[in-house]
Amino acid sequence: MTLAQYFYTYYLSIFAGWAIAELCVNFMRKTVHEPRKSGKLIDFYVGGSERFVATTLVLFAPSYLPAFIGGWVALKFAAHWQRAGGSHVPGLVALVGSIISFSVAIGAGLIFDRSALAVWKSH
């Protein structure tokens, strides 16, 4: 891959991923009547970080991606567990948001480098 392709891959993953995840999560929140309780900037930082790491793993160490996703989702879900008010809806919305976020990161990585597919198919 060229340097420009790496730039576009990470740009697509981090920024387009944020826009896509935000649209989907906001739609979910509206349909289940769940008010937004967190700030948008922290969502960008957390989601951008997870997409950056996931994209890096897709490009350079695809066999480690499933373990990272599993561990990261467990940590995020644990962070939302037993929140005041007793509602699990925000945690579940965040969980689905993570799935969308990881999908974008994986897709961005595969657009420019499909070699990860061979690693995943071999397992």
Annotated domain spans of the chain:
3-121
Question: What confidence score (pLDDT) does residue 39 get?
Answer: 62
The pLDDT assigned to 38 comes to 60
Q: What is the pLDDT of residues 7-63, one digit of tens each?
A: 999 999 999 999 999 999 889 888 988 877 666 788 889 899 999 999 999 999 999
Q: What is the mean pLDDT of the chain?
A: 87
Interacting residues of 12 by C-beta distance below 8 A, sequence separation 6+: 104, 108, 111
Residue 109 — very low, low, confident or very high, per pLDDT cuts 50/70/90?
very high
Q: What is the mean pLDDT of residues 94-117?
A: 92
Q: Where are the alpha helices (DSSP H) in the chain?
A: 3-11, 17-31, 40-60, 65-80, 89-112, 115-121
Find the mean pLDDT for residues 104-116: 93
Q: What pLDDT, on the 0 to 100 scale, is given for residue 78?
A: 80
